[in-house]
Amino acid sequence: MSKILIAEDEPSIRRVLVKILSEENDTYSIEEAEDGAVAIQLIKSIEFDLVLCDIKMPKHDGLEVLEKIKELQPEVPVVMISGHGDLDTAVETMRKGAFDYISKPPDLNRLLTSVRIALDNNQLKVENKKLKRKVSKKYEMIGQSEPIQEIKQMIDKVAPTDARVLITGGNGTGKELVAHWLHEKSERVKKPFIEVNCAAIPSELIESELFGHVKGAFTSANKDRAGKFEAANGGTIFLDEIGDMSLSAQAKVLRALQENKIQRVGSDKDIKVDVRVIAATNKDLKQEIEDKKFREDLYHRLAVILIHVPGLNQRRKDIPLLIEHFAKAVASENGNAVKEFKPDAIEVLKSYDWTGNVRELRNVIERLHILGGETISKDDVELFAAK
């Protein structure tokens, strides 16, 4: 559904434009403004995909409206409507970033062609922006506290090597982010990064998930299937929540690490794999070893390098930066303007107990962004994110 604003003071022309556009596509959502002031008001509150804007209008003329659009929603295409005698101005608006101009009375075909091209163009721009964001921003690690700086330095040192890394820390602290960074800064970056959440896979399936199986290995194995280790060949496998892995799967992982070979379930044929292993856990593995739930030899194989990600309560200094980061992320995901957080709102958030760590903070910022006012105040925080 495209949102279109028609800013035109002559009611008859406005009516014609609304009619032409609604007949062209009944999913267009059309707003009308009868003068420049109303147009600017609407641009401040609604994100448009296209604006049709008359040049001569009361209160603010088309040129002023165009300038305001370029300031508030720079990506939106603006098609100017020029009356008799303002052709020079129409040309000037093109220099100022208008997408096109059409003359009054509007020619139906000319108008629709311009509208279609402008909307397609805008769609492409939006999609491109989304794509770029996915690649570069997804795994950005925000924070300037000492622990985060140390982690970043550690990643820089360790990533280019093949050393195994064990990442520890509470839920939602950013362990997965660290694992991604280790892969992205390594020579393996062009090869797969395969993530396995060991806690989410039932223990009877984990071996087949990791190492694959051959047809007939168990009842539902109706064809040969490669596992995650094979899929990660040349790249990195990230064993998340490794503390939840069954002892029998641990024994097989140990063998894979010792010999760089795996066997599919139900087969005794060795398959060579070249995989870097990164593991993470929120459990105290030393305690798990004492309780005989985790193999000590596997622990030593995995924990060549240890990276501990402290909880958010131990690095409150990062909270303002994270708030800003998530506010931007949430706004761009939803395609709306970034909301500012007032200093007193940030102070209250900083004082909270964040046992749910960064993930919990992200959820709270998203909630405030949706429910709070235009700028987020202390009252918004107390109303929608009280602890």
Burial of 209 (0-12, 13-18, 19+ CB in 10 A): buried
What's the token pair of residue 273?
Answer: 């794999």
Q: How far is the CB of 359 from ligand ATP (least distance, A)?
A: 4
Q: How far is the CB of 132 from ligand ATP (least distance, A)?
A: 17
Q: How far is the CB of 24 from ligand ATP (least distance, A)?
A: 41
Contacts of 375 (CB under 8 A, 6+ apart): 339, 340, 341, 342
Question: Which uninterrupted H or E stretch holds 181?
Answer: helix 175-184
Q: How far is the CB of 103 from ligand ATP (least distance, A)?
A: 51
Q: Would you call 33 helix, strand, or coil by DSSP? A: strand
Q: Taken in order 54, 60, 63, 64, is the CA torsion positive or negative?
A: negative
Distance CA 86, CA 81 (A): 9
Q: Which CB sits closer to ligand ATP, 73 or 197?
A: 197
Q: How far is the CB of 240 from ligand ATP (least distance, A)?
A: 6
Strand ranges, E, within 250-329: 261-263, 270-272, 276-281, 305-308
**Antiparallel, parallel or unpaired: β 29-33 and 50-54:** unpaired
Phi-psi region of 80 (alpha: psi -120 to 50; beta: other; left: phi over 0): beta
Q: Which CB sits closer to ligand ATP, 63 or 358?
A: 358
Q: Which CB sits closer to ligand ATP, 82 or 168?
A: 168
Calculate Rg over the CA atoms of the chain. Answer: 29
DSSP letter assigned to residue 191: S
Q: Which CB sits closer to ligand ATP, 279 or 298?
A: 279
Residue corresponding to tokens 């909630």: 367
Q: Which CB sits closer to ligand ATP, 228 or 362?
A: 362
Q: How far is the CB of 336 from ligand ATP (least distance, A)?
A: 20
Distance CA 273, CA 258 (A): 11
Q: Would you call 46 helix, strand, or coil by DSSP? A: coil
DSSP letter assigned to residue 265: B
Nearest to 237 by CA among 268, 195, 265, 180: 195
> Which residues of the chain form contacts with ligand ATP (CB under 6 A)?
140-143, 169, 171-177, 240, 282, 325, 358-359, 362
Q: How far is the CB of 180 from ligand ATP (least distance, A)?
A: 8
Give the residue closest to ligand ATP by C-beta.
174
Contacts of 13 (CB under 8 A, 6+ apart): 54, 81, 104, 105, 106
Q: Is 252 within 8 Å of 270 (Cβ atoms)?
A: no
Q: Which CB sits closer to ligand ATP, 358 or 376?
A: 358
Q: How far is the CB of 140 from ligand ATP (least distance, A)?
A: 6
Q: How far is the CB of 278 from ligand ATP (least distance, A)?
A: 11
**Roughly how many angstroms between the first and final C-alpha of the chain, as a whole number?**
38
Burial of 200 (0-12, 13-18, 19+ CB in 10 A): exposed
Q: Which CB sits closer to ligand ATP, 78 or 179?
A: 179
Q: Which CB sits closer to ligand ATP, 158 or 358?
A: 358
- Alpha carbon distances (Å) from 291 to 249, 253, 284: 17, 20, 11
Q: Which CB sits closer to ligand ATP, 139 or 267?
A: 139
Q: How far is the CB of 176 from ligand ATP (least distance, A)?
A: 3
Q: Which CB sits closer to ligand ATP, 106 or 169?
A: 169
Q: What residues pair up with 313 in beta bridges, in sequence order? A: none
